[in-house]
Amino acid sequence: MYTLNVNGTTYQANVSDGATPLLWVLRDILGLTGTKYGCGIEVCGACTVLIDGQREHSCVYDVSSAAGKRIVTVEGLSPDNSHPVQQAWQGCQVPQCGYCQSGMIMAAAGAIQAGHRGPEILSEIKNLCVCGTYQRVRDAVQKL
């Protein structure tokens, strides 16, 4: 049993193997499906969450390492989609299929939280997008 603080709520996750990736606990046990599975090898960024304010890939982050830390998923970024990154993404109509977008939004939010601004934010977003919305991402980041 692992105690997780996700989006300000405490959960008890009954997981037998502490090496289970946090991604599967978030999606399959807690029902928070905004965080996506893309590659499973820390390359695409679709699974990006914030753990104690740091951007992490939940596909390779063990649930045992996440216990007792503050985890924020895209569902917890803001209750009404008012976070500046969410507003910029909506204003620039960034998503096409949208699959990678929660990870990109979390990467940008983490960069802002780390004190980055403007082009620094863009350099922090290493996520892959098969639809190719990179120009719209650039446009959105310029609004931050």
For 43-86, the pLDDT digits (tens) are 999 999 999 999 999 999 999 999 999 999 999 999 899 999 99
Domain closes at, from 76, 96, 119: 76
The kind and range of the H/E element at 21 are: none
pLDDT of residue 69: 98
Helices (H), 1-144: 22-24, 63-66, 84-91, 101-113, 119-124, 134-142
CA torsion angle 144 58 46 72 (round to 10)? -40
Mark whether 50 and 94 lie in a shared domain: no
For 94-116, the pLDDT digits (tens) are 998 888 999 999 999 999 999 99
pLDDT of residue 98: 84
Average pLDDT, the chain: 95
Domain closes at, from 60, 76, 92: 76
